[in-house]
Structure 1
């Protein structure tokens, strides 16, 4: 049964679906950032090992570049984590609104069904009541 809330439910459902997709994309981006961070840390560790074994090899500029890149990746990770947190908060709000609209639509359906049942019952009561109140007419 259609309700006045159907259009709003579809709109909110699309919003929840869009947020679900955005969260998935943000998680993928965060995983990519984490992988890049791991690769940079491994490269730094390897460069430190090479520097320790080769005294004449100067890797300071290389390590400085890796550290700067690691810092940038760390900042990106923090920003991506904050965006993910915000998206999750938005999704919770949107889902809560969707559930409230579903509840209102269910209440509307219940009210319409209850009104129809009461009208049917009143009609039946009128029919039954009409039969019982008829008095047989006497013929003279």
Structure 2
């Protein structure tokens, strides 16, 4: 694996969702990665370890009934903020805004904390 900077890692992470290609994630996740999803409220589900994080994200990437759309990405050193929209249906209000706070170490994602504007439950692909 060649060393990747934070921008390269986050760009590829976002591409996995935009292109519905979970294989883009395979060598982006550290063994000690920790991810917290936006649900259930108030703290979200905590997922630990490379395999568990990959499985969670793979399910989201492969769910053709939903769409993750990055809106803005800000990178500062080993950290990145991804502002996104997540569409979970065809209705005018079937979407939420949120952010992921990401941390990258040695070219791998070690932390991904998700937060959303919604106070209610949004059906995620992992809920099916």
TM-score bracket for the superposition, by shorter chain length: under 0.3
Higher strand residue share:
2
TM-score by length of 2: 0.21
Instruction: Tell me which of the two structures has the higher relative contact order, counting C-alpha pairs closer than 8 angstroms and 6 or more residues apart.
Output: 1
Max Rg structure:
1
